[in-house]
């Protein structure tokens, strides 16, 4: 009888203290979310990627990395896993991205780190594909600055990717046929560098499947 009373008392004590079968000294059932990770840093960059790493956090079973296109912008989860680092690929060249990371375990997710930025590389040129009838499917190399923007010239010479200062496409990126003296395709978005997709025909204003693939020398 005495043994039964002792066991019952122990059970009641455990229930009141919030015991569970998974409680142990191994940390499998932590009482709270991990601390915010330390040491978030950009460790490498490329034309279309940014590599990040951070310190391992005690009691963390995994991490979540979030990315935005501005420091105060909307952050989207791009990585969830156990490794304390990630290569974020498939980005747009010559662009800046912002990152925050959290640590997580079965008890929850930590507060995010302060945001840090990483910038993809500026291309030395582009390989252009997908233009109607192959009209501008050439390699374009950096040639200089024109109207405060980079100027890319085809090989063989005859075509340019430029931003004109006047005309119907002033301030926008165009494929310019310098032999005919006309703009053939344009991009409707003003930007610092020619975008990879979204190009339109000047005549008829129709969408094209032009793709600019960047390269570094």
Residue 75: partners with Cβ closer than 8 Å, 6 or more residues away:
66, 67, 68, 98, 100, 112
**Prediction pTM value:** 0.81
Report the pLDDT value the prediction gives residue 24, as an integer from 0 to 100. 36
Closest CA to 159 of 206, 191, 126: 126
Residue with tokens 């690929």, as numbered in its chain:
89
Q: Compute the C-alpha angle 89/92/94, nearest 5°.
A: 115
Q: Which residues of 155-167 are buried (b: 16+ CB within 10 A; e: fewer)?
A: eeeebbbbbbeee
- At 30 the pLDDT is 79
Q: Which tokens is 166 given?
A: 């006047």
The two tokens of residue 14 are 């455990």
Polymer length in residues for the chain? 217
Spell out where 14-157 has E strands.
41-45, 49-53, 62-68, 76-81, 85-89, 96-105, 108-109, 116-119, 125-129, 139-146, 149-155
Q: How many CB atoms lie within 10 A of CB 13?
A: 10
d(CA 160, CA 153): 5
pLDDT of residue 2: 45
Q: Looking at residue 41, what is its pLDDT?
A: 98
Q: Which residues of the chain have pLDDT under 70?
A: 1-29
What residues are paired with 160 via a beta bridge?
153, 176
First to last CA, the chain: 85
Give domain limits for the chain.
34-119, 125-215
Across the chain, mean pLDDT equals: 90
Tokens 């960047």: give the residue: 214
Instruction: State which CATH number among 1.10.3720.10, 3.30.70.980, 1.10.101.10, 2.60.40.10 fits the domain covering 34-119.
Output: 2.60.40.10
Judged by DSSP in three states, 75 sits in: coil
């Amino acid at each position: 009888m005495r043994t039964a009373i002792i066991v019952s008392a122990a059970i009641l004590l455990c229930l009141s203290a919030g015991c569970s079968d998974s409680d142990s000294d191994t940390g499998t059932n932590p009482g709270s979310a991990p601390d915010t990770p330390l040491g978030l840093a950009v460790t490498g960059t490329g034309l279309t990627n940014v590599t990040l790493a951070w310190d391992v956090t005690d009691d963390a079973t995994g991490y979540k990395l979030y990315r935005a296109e501005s420091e105060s912008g909307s952050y989207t989860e791009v990585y969830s896993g156990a490794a304390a680092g990630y290569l974020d690929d498939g980005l747009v060249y010559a662009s800046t991205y912002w990152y925050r990371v959290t640590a997580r375990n079965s008890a929850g997710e930590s507060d995010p780190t302060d945001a840090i930025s990483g910038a993809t590389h500026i291309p030395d040129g582009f390989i252009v594909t997908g233009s109607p009838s192959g009209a501008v499917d050439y390699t374009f190399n950096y040639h200089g600055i024109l109207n405060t923007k980079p100027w890319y010239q085809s090989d063989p010479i005859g075509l340019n990717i430029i931003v004109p200062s006047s005309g119907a496409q002033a301030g926008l990126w165009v494929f310019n046929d310098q032999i005919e003296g006309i703009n053939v395709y344009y991009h409707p978005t003003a930007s610092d560098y020619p975008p990879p997709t979204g190009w339109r025909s000047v005549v008829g204003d129709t969408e094209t499947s032009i793709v600019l693939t960047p390269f570094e020398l």
